[in-house]
Amino acid sequence: MSRADAIARAQEYFDSGTFKSDLARRVAIATESQNPERVGELARYVESEMKPALEALGFRCRVMRHAKARGPFLYAERSEGEELPTVLGYGHGDVIRGLEAGWHAGLSPWQLVERDGCYWGRGVVDNKGQHTINLAALAAVLAVRGRLGFNAKWLIEMGEETGSAGLREICAENRDLFAADVLIASDGPRMAGDRATLSLGCRGAYPIDLTITAREGGHHSGNWGGLLSNPAIQLAHALASIAGPTGQVRIPDWVPKEIPDSVRRVLAECEIVSGPGDPQIDPAWGEPGLTAAEKVYVWFTFEVLAAPAIRRTRSTRCRRARGRAARCAPWSASIPMKSCRRCAVTSTARDFPWWKSPRRATRCSARRVQIPIIRGCVGLPRRSRAA
């Protein structure tokens, strides 16, 4: 039996409609981790869907919980020999809120629909589709030769969309359990819809809520304007001190001193393009002199995730206005933001000192296992490009 036989088996899995039916069944489980009323669905996805699927492939499964996490964690292991390398796979079964009212006619977050060559449904590409594909690949190899040729472990969490609460602790408390030679985490974008992407690095993010509360209550701008500090204006200037008018980060210590030549050579072949339905790239945005790939995979970016939220009081002289303060001096303003550093394929902790920070993004906390990370996105056949 050859590699080609295994690939043919995987293609049959798709062509027969089995992939679609498996994915549809998983999409139908409304695993909204942001919705407290869906706690039971988080457990159902693990217990009734993923645990049996992994056990059918010869994995021994263990459902784990942590006090910080709303949903469970599923650990699975298939051992073929102590002398063989070990691969740890990662996926998450939770999704963001379904927001049913926002879907186009004929579409639903909890029903898989094929339309115009795309699969539509909540979790199709984040992340139920990815780990469904990866498990199918393992099944194809096992069906052809009866063994994988390596030891395999899986970790599926149910709280990624709410910050992965408890993931860091689960990994730290069970360090030996998750020990592996490589981690494959299929939870990220492809550079292009028709090109598979394999990244040898993991990005980290640090969320920031910047809030200024000057005083209690609102005051009429006609009487007090020019005398009272304005939190919205102060926030605008704070943001302007961090990033320039074209998004360039202005704080030297936040950006790398240089990009290694070895990284530039690798990224020279990586072309970032906008596909159907994607926004058009703004070439003048971000750090000057960098290619699109260098901006995405190497450099630091500072993002404002929402416009200022200005709280105002109700009164006849101090009106509430949507999106701006009308004749009213605001007393408080708040902006959620996120700073994000991306590691290029050859980056190291020495190159980017932020990587050694104990407070990097929770989703990267599995890195504490101290194993190499591969982030890969395996594309579906073009005719089934996921939505």
One-letter amino acid at 81 equals G
One-letter amino acid at 7 equals I
- Report pLDDT for 164: 95
Q: Which residues contact 333 (CB under 8 A, 6 or more apart)?
A: 211, 212, 231, 232, 234, 235, 308, 309, 310, 311
Q: Domains of the chain, with CATH numbers?
A: 3-202+363-384 (3.40.630.10), 205-344 (3.30.70.360)
Give every residue of the chain whose pLDDT is below 70, as ranges: 1, 202, 307-387
| Structural tokens at position 80 | 């073929």
pLDDT in tens, 266-308: 899 888 888 777 899 999 999 999 999 999 888 999 998 876 5
50: three-class secondary structure by DSSP: helix
Report yes or no: 27 and 111 within 8 Å, Cβ to Cβ.
yes
- Report pLDDT for 371: 29
DSSP 8-state class, residue 326: B
- Report pLDDT for 377: 30
- Report pLDDT for 381: 32
| Structural tokens at position 313 | 């009081």
Distance between CA atoms of 208 and 190, rounded to whole angstroms? 27
Task: Name the H helices within the chain.
Answer: 3-15, 18-27, 39-44, 51-55, 128-145, 167-173, 221-224, 231-242, 261-267, 292-297
- Report pLDDT for 120: 97
pLDDT in tens, 319-350: 333 333 333 444 555 666 656 654 333 222 33
Report yes or no: 320 and 314 within 8 Å, Cβ to Cβ.
yes
Report yes or no: 133 and 20 within 8 Å, Cβ to Cβ.
no
Indicate left, alpha or beta for 109 from its phi (over 0: left) and psi (-120 to 50: alpha). alpha
* Selection from 93, 163, 168 nearest residue 130 by Cα: 93
The three-state (H, E, C) secondary structure of 149-177, written as one string: CCEEEEEEECCHHHCCCCHHHHHHHCCCC
What is the chain's Cα-based Rg? 24
Distance between CA atoms of 74 and 261, rounded to whole angstroms? 41
- Report pLDDT for 74: 98
Cα-flanking dihedrals φ and ψ of residue 87, to 5°?
-115, 125
Instruction: Report the interhelical angle of 128-145 vs 3-15 (nearest 10°).
Output: 130
Cβ atoms within 10 Å, residue 44: 15
pTM for this predicted structure: 0.71
What does DSSP say about strands 204-213 and 332-341: parallel, antiparallel, or unpaired?
antiparallel
DSSP 8-state class, residue 83: T
93: three-class secondary structure by DSSP: coil
One-letter amino acid at 39 equals V
Cα-flanking dihedrals φ and ψ of residue 349, to 5°?
-60, -30
Report yes or no: 296 and 342 within 8 Å, Cβ to Cβ.
yes
* Selection from 30, 37, 157, 164 nearest residue 89 by Cα: 157
Report yes or no: 340 and 300 within 8 Å, Cβ to Cβ.
yes
Distance between CA atoms of 26 and 129, rounded to whole angstroms? 9
Distance between CA atoms of 261 and 264, rounded to whole angstroms? 5
